[in-house]
Structure 1
Amino acid sequence: MFHPDRPGPTRTNLAIRTDPDQPSDTDPPSDPDRPSDPDPPSVVMRTDPDRPNEDLIKYGWPEDIWFHVDKLSSAHVYLRLPKGKSIEDIPPEVLVDCAQLVKNNSIQGCKMNNINVVYTPWANLKKTGDMDVGQIGFFRQKEVKVVAVEKKVNEVVNRLEKTKVERFPDLAAEKESRDREERNEKKAQLQDQKKKEKEEQRMRKEMEELKSYTALMKGENMTTNEVRTQNINQYILINN
């Protein structure tokens, strides 16, 4: 479990864009020397290292990956992945960004070399009522990964600091909006599936009717030919 040095909730967090080639109106100019990721995670969120934000734990998204310095106090860093991506899909350079960010926001870790940073999916974070503010456990230890950080890389930390944007979001509202969108997508997919199944049933029925009609037509032809043969034989007998 992880314990903050000085607990106390705050609603402040930082959004740090990991793709400088897609700036927003509030972002500074991008770094032309940094290669762009073709499918980058959209945002990294960092809590105040002195006052971990409990709402980020409570209102996290399934796409969120949580980072923390192992066995030391640090900020909680959340990497928000694109939908459909998992912890295994984190690009190496983004993993370095998150590890450097969380190390730099650790009171002790920022002064140390050769530390470990742990990270795991948000869904694996265990928070119970008897835990202190900022204290976290895990449901499944095997889902916790570790990345070693040899030392601070100033170029990475400086770039992240230049692209940071301070926000005061309504995390509950953002989570509800995200969940509503997902529900609507699933509803649309279900409707499309039902429509597809209905169309398949209609086509099967038409094929069955066509087969029955074809069989019926063959039966009628056979009956007609038999009647014609009988009529011809009767004509011959009469005339003889």
Structure 2
Amino acid sequence: MVFYFESNIVSPPALLFMGADKHENEDLIKWGWPEDVWFHVDKVSSAHVYLRLQSGQTLDDVSSSVIEDAAQLVKANSIMGNKMNDINVVYTMWANLKKTPGMDVGQVAFHKENEVRKIKVAKRINEVVNRLNKTKREEHPDFRAEREKRDKLEREDKKKLLREQRKREEEEEKKRKEAAELKSYNSLMNEENMSKYDDGNDSDDFM
């Protein structure tokens, strides 16, 4: 089971979600999307919260308010973290999560530490947590099927872009050939005109 939330302080609303327990977290780690941003309380047990970016969006494009919403959601769903002030929440792109066979269920590391960001959360803000909880819904998604559908659509989009690019290149090549042929034709016509009106006699005297 996965819990979904909407951060409606932006338009369109940003999608936040988290697994109900460590087993769902494990599936989210395995079948995450390249567009997913992972959040967790630093050095303290907590829920794994994800932010799904919009198409074409990067982490640098995300509103700081949405980042703060995700951090508040992580803190509120951490037994220890929820009781503490001045905690750090770490976040990084899903692709930077590292899972090795020896790790416990739900445990992760990082491929590149320098791609992990932090945000300081001074205290729980009930107004934010309550706003997010009002949008909460429960679903039982098929993680693998959703990821495969996403990848299929991406492949189709790439094929479409390649076809469009190939078509543009063919049209440009056709225009270049037509322009070259026209230039060659004009040049030929000028030479024929010069030959037609040139009688080889410099004199205008016909007598």
Aligned residue number for residue 18 of structure 1: 7
Instruction: Measure the CA separation in 2 of the matches of 1:50 and 1:179.
Output: 25
1:81 aligned to which of 47, 53, 67:
53
Q: Over alpha carbons, which structure has the higher Rg?
A: 1
- The equivalent of 2:122 in structure 1 is 150
**1:186 correspondence with 2:158:** yes
Task: Report SS of the residue matched to 1:151.
Answer: coil
Match of 2:181 among 198, 204, 209: 209
Determine what percentage of the aligned residue pairs are the same residue. Answer: 52
How far the C-alpha of 1:134 sits from its partner, in A, is 0.8
Shift of 1:198: 0.3
1:103 aligns with 2:75: yes
Q: Separation in 2 of the partners of 1:172 and 1:51?
A: 14
Q: State whether residues 52 and 76 of structure 1, in contact with CA within 8 Å, keep that contact through their aligned partners in structure 2.
A: no
Amino acid at match of 1:131: M
Q: Tell me the CA shift for residue 132 of structure 1.
A: 1.1
For 2:80 and 2:24, the matched residues in 1 are separated by 16
For normalisation by structure 1, the TM-score amounts to 0.81
In structure 2, the CA distance between the partners of 1:231 and 1:94, relative to structure 1 (3 Å rule), is closer
Structure 2 alignment gaps of length 5 or more: none
Deviation digits for residues 2-57 of structure 1 (CA, Å, limit 9, x no counterpart): xxxxxxxxxx11111112xxxxxxxxxxxxxxxx423442x111123565521101
Shift of 1:169: 0.1
In angstroms, what is the RMSD of aligned CA positions? Answer: 1.8
Q: Is the 8 A contact 1:73 1:108 kept in 2?
A: yes
Residues 46-125 of structure 1 mapped to structure 2, 5 A cutoff: 46-49=18-21, 51=23, 53-125=25-97
Cα-to-partner distance string for 1:139-195 (whole Å, 9 max, x where unaligned): 110110000111111111111111101010001111111111111111111000000
Q: Distance in 2 between matches of 1:49 and 1:166?
A: 13
